[in-house]
Structure 1
Amino acid sequence: VLSNQVNRGVLEGKRDLTIVALDSDWDELISKYPDDSLERVTSPSHLAYVMYTSGSTGRPKGVQVTHTNIVSLATSCDYVALNSETVWLSTGSISFDAVTIEYWGTLLNGGELVLASREVLLNTSSFKSLILDKGVNTLWMTASWFHQVVEEDTSIFASLRYLLVGGDIVLFNYTNTVKELYPDLKIINGYGPTENTTFSTTYTIEKTQTTLPIGKPIKNSVAYIVDSAMNLVPVGVVGELVVGGSGVARGYLNNEELTNDKFISNPFTAGDRLYKTGDLAKWLPDGNIEFIGRKDTQVKIRGYRIELGEIENALSNLVSVSQCCVLAKETSTGNKILVGYVVSEGVFDKEAIQQALQEDLPGYMIPSIWIALDTMPLTANGKLDRRALPEPDSTALSTKEYVAPRNETEEQLVTIWQ
Structure 2
Amino acid sequence: MTLLANTRALFGFGSGDVWTMFHSEAFDFSVWEMWGALAHGGRLVLVDYFTARSPEAFLELLRHERVTVLNQTPTAFYQLAEADRLAGGAALSLRYVIFGGEALDFGQLTRWYARRGTSSPDLVNMYGITETTVHVSHLPLDRVLVRQRSASVIGRALPGLRVYVLDQRLHPVPPGVVGELYVSGDQVSRGYLGRFGLTSARFIPDLAVSGARMYRSGDLGRWNDSGQLEYLGRNDLQVQVKGYRIELGEVEAALLSGVGVSQSAVVARRDRLVGYVVPESGATISPAALLEYVSQRLAPHMVPAVVTVLEGLPLTVNGKLDRNALPEPDFGRQATVSRGPASATENILASLFAEVLGLEEVGVDDSFFTLGGDSIMSIQLVTRARSAGVLITPREVFERKTVAALSETAGTAGNRVVVDELPGGGVGEIELTPIVEWMLDRGGDFRRYSQSVLLSVPATLDEVTLTLAMQAVLDHHDILRAGIRATHHPESARRMDVAPVGTVRAETVVRHGSLGVLPRRRSRQNSTQLWGGSTRRQV
Q: Which residue of 1 aligns with 2:180?
A: 240
Read off the aligned partner of 1:87 and give its amino acid letter: V
Greater C-alpha Rg: 2
Q: Which residue of 2 aligns with 1:76?
A: 6
The residue matched to 1:105 in structure 2 has which SS?
A: helix
User: Judging changes above 3 Å, is the alpha-carbon distance between structure 1 residues 192 and 358 closer, same or farther for their aligned structure 2 residues?
Assistant: same
Counterpart contact for 1:369–1:397, Cα < 8 Å? yes
Counterpart contact for 2:29–2:101, Cα < 8 Å? no
CA distance in structure 2 between the aligned counterparts of 1:157 and 1:74, rounded to whole angstroms: 29
The higher-RCO structure (CA 8 Å, 6+ apart) is 1
User: Judging changes above 3 Å, is the alpha-carbon distance between structure 1 residues 306 and 132 closer, same or farther for their aligned structure 2 residues?
Assistant: closer
Once the two structures are superposed, residues 262-311 of structure 1 have per-residue CA deviations (whole angstroms, 9 ceiling, x without a partner) of 11111122222111111111211112222222112322233322222222
* Pairwise CA distance, 1:394: 4.4
The answer to whether structure 1 residue 109 and structure 2 residue 40 are counterparts is yes
CA RMSD of aligned residues (A): 2.4
Once the two structures are superposed, residues 100-136 of structure 1 have per-residue CA deviations (whole angstroms, 9 ceiling, x without a partner) of 1112112222222222322333444543443334332
Read off the aligned partner of 1:171 and give its amino acid letter: D
* Pairwise CA distance, 1:88: 1.1
Once the two structures are superposed, residues 39-95 of structure 1 have per-residue CA deviations (whole angstroms, 9 ceiling, x without a partner) of xxxxxxxxxxxxxxxxxxxxxxxxxxxxxxxx1112221442222222212111111
| The structure with more helix, counted as a fraction of residues | 2
User: Judging changes above 3 Å, is the alpha-carbon distance between structure 1 residues 319 and 72 closer, same or farther for their aligned structure 2 residues?
Assistant: farther
Q: Which residue of 2 aligns with 1:381?
A: 318
Taking the TM superposition and a 5 Å limit, the aligned residue runs for 1:327-342 are: 327-330=267-270, 336-342=271-277
From 356, 364, 373, the equivalent of 2:301 is 364
User: Judging changes above 3 Å, is the alpha-carbon distance between structure 1 residues 268 and 379 closer, same or farther for their aligned structure 2 residues?
Assistant: same
Provide the identity percentage.
36
Q: Which residue of 2 aligns with 1:130?
A: 61
| The structure with more strand, counted as a fraction of residues | 1
- TM-score w.r.t. length of structure 2: 0.58
Range moving further from structure 2, 220-229 or 169-178: 169-178
Counterpart contact for 1:293–1:310, Cα < 8 Å? no
User: Judging changes above 3 Å, is the alpha-carbon distance between structure 1 residues 301 and 89 closer, same or farther for their aligned structure 2 residues?
Assistant: closer
CA distance in structure 2 between the aligned counterparts of 1:339 and 1:129, rounded to whole angstroms: 35
Q: Which residue of 1 aligns with 2:262?
A: 322
Taking the TM superposition and a 5 Å limit, the aligned residue runs for 1:137-156 are: 137-154=68-85, 155=89
User: Judging changes above 3 Å, is the alpha-carbon distance between structure 1 residues 362 and 160 closer, same or farther for their aligned structure 2 residues?
Assistant: same
* Pairwise CA distance, 1:382: 0.8
CA distance in structure 1 between the aligned counterparts of 2:13 and 2:253, rounded to whole angstroms: 32
Counterpart contact for 1:243–1:277, Cα < 8 Å? yes
- TM-score w.r.t. length of structure 1: 0.74
Counterpart contact for 1:189–1:203, Cα < 8 Å? yes
* Pairwise CA distance, 1:182: 4.8
Counterpart contact for 1:265–1:274, Cα < 8 Å? yes
Q: Which residue of 1 aligns with 2:122?
A: 186
User: Judging changes above 3 Å, is the alpha-carbon distance between structure 1 residues 308 and 289 closer, same or farther for their aligned structure 2 residues?
Assistant: same
The residue matched to 2:218 in structure 1 has which SS?
A: strand
Once the two structures are superposed, residues 1-56 of structure 1 have per-residue CA deviations (whole angstroms, 9 ceiling, x without a partner) of xxxxxxxxxxxxxxxxxxxxxxxxxxxxxxxxxxxxxxxxxxxxxxxxxxxxxxxx
Counterpart contact for 1:73–1:247, Cα < 8 Å? yes
The residue matched to 1:248 in structure 2 has which SS?
A: coil
Read off the aligned partner of 2:92 and give its amino acid letter: A
The residue matched to 2:94 in structure 1 has which SS?
A: coil
From 20, 23, 29, the equivalent of 1:98 is 29
Counterpart contact for 1:75–1:108, Cα < 8 Å? no
Counterpart contact for 1:323–1:344, Cα < 8 Å? yes
Counterpart contact for 1:142–1:166, Cα < 8 Å? yes
User: Judging changes above 3 Å, is the alpha-carbon distance between structure 1 residues 128 and 349 closer, same or farther for their aligned structure 2 residues?
Assistant: closer
Aligned residues: 338
* Pairwise CA distance, 1:321: 2.5
* Pairwise CA distance, 1:162: 0.5
User: Judging changes above 3 Å, is the alpha-carbon distance between structure 1 residues 299 and 160 closer, same or farther for their aligned structure 2 residues?
Assistant: same
The answer to whether structure 1 residue 174 and structure 2 residue 108 are counterparts is yes
Taking the TM superposition and a 5 Å limit, the aligned residue runs for 1:187-336 are: 187-207=123-143, 208-209=146-147, 210-211=149-150, 212-330=152-270, 336=271
The residue matched to 2:220 in structure 1 has which SS?
A: strand
The residue matched to 1:213 in structure 2 has which SS?
A: strand
